[in-house]
Every structure is written in C-alpha cells, then in structure tokens.
C-alpha cells in the first residue's frame, strides 16, 4: 500500500505493521510524497511549528492582558499563583499541562501567534501535553517533532471523514479531535507502539462525543479557553489507559464514524451559531447585550 492511500486508522496500522515503522515515519513519508518535498523539509516545518508552540506558551505564561471583550485573559496567571502557594494534587506535570494549555489558548484570544492544531479554538491541547511531558521526562526535540508529526497524521485521518470545524460537527470536532491528537502523540512520546497510539485516540475521542460548540457572545472565549486544559487532561487519561493495556471496545475508525453521525444529528443551534447551550443562558445574554449594544 502506498502512503498516499492511507485514509483510515486501520490502513495506517496495517502499513506500520507491514513495514515495521512508527506512525511518524509513515506520516512524514506521506507528507513528503503528497507535497512533493523532501522529508527534511517536512521535519523542518514541524520543528518550526513546535518552536511556535513553545513561544506561545512562554508568552502566555507571562501575560495577564485581557481579550477585547474582557471576558478572558488572566486565568493562567491565577493558576500559576495558586500552584506557587499550594501545588496541584496530581503533581508538577499536571500543573504544567493545565497552565500551558491556558497560556496558549489565552494567547489566541489576545490575537497572539499560535499554531492551530487542528483549530485556533483548540490550540492549547496538543502543545500543552507534548511540551509539558517532554520537559519533565527529558525528551529530545527530535522525539517531540516525531510526536507532533504523529498528532498531525491523526488529525489528517479524522478530517478525512469529519470536518474539523465547530460549525459542522460541534466542539467534538475541534477540542475533541485535538484531545485525540494529543493522546496519540503523548502515547508515542512515552514509548507506546502504533496499536497503543491508536487505542489512545479511540479512548479520547469516544469520551468527548457530543461536545457542543456554544460560544458565548459568538466569541472563541467562553467556554472555549477553559476547555483546552480540560481536554488536555482527557488526552493524558486516554494515554495512561492505553499504555496500561486498557482497550477501546469500539475500533478507532468506528469512533470517528460515530463522531460524524453525532455531528450530523446535532442541532444547528449547538454548532457555533451561539443560538443554544451556554450561549443562550441568562448571563450569556446579559454579556452579549453589554458588549454589543
């Protein structure tokens, strides 16, 4: 099977198994073929994205600037101050994952430079998981790039069946897909083989099915910003389960099919239109009136 013919996770696993390769190796070959560029350029682009992710985290950790609406922008600072006084129950890596996800997501609402992975609204999940774990486990930049390439391949295959847009399939297609990408990436980062990587994807994705996209005031702020740290934790949970031998009873491709169906069944009022859910609560409507009248 040529790498250009991989459109399902089952096909991806078959190729990895047949060739004795990791997902990142197959994925970078795919990108090289598809874009007609050498593999070293694919890796250069991935490295640049990784560096941009780290820059967004570092900038976000230092900033308390609010968004133009004034609804978001200083939660990461609050979290850091709290952890300085009383550490998180789950430890230092957990603290980093939460703060890094918030730092990145808050940079997005400040119109700072971020990497959409797969979207701007879900930009904090993949970076937080890969970078926090890499720092605390002394993982090289080369392996971080490998993990990021794997995350991209996971997102690519999901997007072959489902549009990664809240307006099409709800937030399950944005933060949900990002959590799946992060879960697979960190599983590989910690030594998991392709089968465990894809099992982590399935576990993450199936536990976020039905997540609505209901942004307050039509802005990618509430609840979007705080969903990033929550989904990053879900990604880590999926990885820990997968690496312990816990398996999804539903194969990953079928989980993606279920996400597609769920998105089709979801009311348009819950798909980025701000016509339902949190966006139509009493407080949300009062905020909307204050901001736009």
Domain segments of the chain as ranges:
3-292
Query: Looking at the whole model, is its pTM more than 0.85?
Result: yes
What is the rounded distance in angstroms from the CA atom of residue 62 to the CA atom of residue 39? Answer: 35
| CATH match of 3-292 with 1.25.10 | no
What per-residue string of b and e applies to 160-185 under the rule 16 or more CB within 10 Å gives b? eebebbbebbbbbbbbbbbbbbbbbb
What are 4-57's pLDDT values in tens digits?
Answer: 689 999 999 999 999 999 999 999 999 999 999 999 999 999 999 999 999 999
Q: What does the DSSP assignment read for 68-129?
A: TTSSSS-HHHHHHHHHHHS--TT-HHHHHHHHHHHHHHHHHHTT-----SS-GGGTTHHHHH
Name the band, by pLDDT with cuts 50, 70 and 90, for residue 186.
very high
Q: Provide the pLDDT for residue 293.
A: 85
């Amino acid at each position: 099977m040529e790498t250009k013919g991989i459109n399902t996770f089952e096909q991806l696993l078959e190729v990895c198994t047949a060739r004795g390769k990791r997902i990142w190796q197959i994925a970078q070959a795919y990108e090289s073929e598809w874009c007609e560029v050498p593999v070293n350029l694919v890796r250069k682009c991935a490295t640049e994205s990784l560096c941009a992710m780290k820059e967004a985290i570092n900038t976000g950790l230092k900033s308390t600037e609010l968004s133009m609406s004034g609804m978001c922008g200083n939660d990461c600072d609050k979290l850091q101050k709290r952890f300085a006084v009383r550490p998180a129950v789950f430890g230092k890596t957990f603290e980093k994952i939460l703060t890094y996800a918030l730092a990145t997501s808050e940079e997005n609402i400040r119109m700072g430079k971020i990497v959409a992975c797969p979207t701007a609204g879900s930009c904090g999940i993949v970076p937080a998981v890969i970078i926090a774990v890499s720092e605390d486990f002394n993982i090289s930049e080369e392996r971080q790039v490998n993990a990021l390439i794997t995350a991209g391949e996971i997102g690519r295959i999901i997007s072959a069946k489902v549009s990664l847009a809240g307006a099409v399939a709800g937030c399950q297609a944005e933060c949900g897909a990002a959590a799946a990408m992060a879960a697979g990436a960190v599983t590989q980062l910690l030594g998991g083989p392709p089968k465990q990587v894809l099992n982590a994807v399935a576990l993450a994705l199936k536990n976020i099915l039905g997540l609505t996209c209901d942004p307050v005031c039509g802005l990618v702020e509430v609840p979007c910003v705080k969903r990033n740290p929550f989904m990053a934790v879900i990604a880590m949970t999926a990885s820990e389960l997968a690496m312990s031998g816990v398996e999804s009873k539903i194969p990953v491709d079928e989980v993606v099919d279920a996400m597609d169906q769920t998105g089709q069944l979801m009311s348009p009022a819950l798909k980025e239109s701000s016509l339902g859910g949190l966006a139509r609560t009493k407080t949300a409507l009062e905020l909307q009136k204050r901001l736009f009248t």
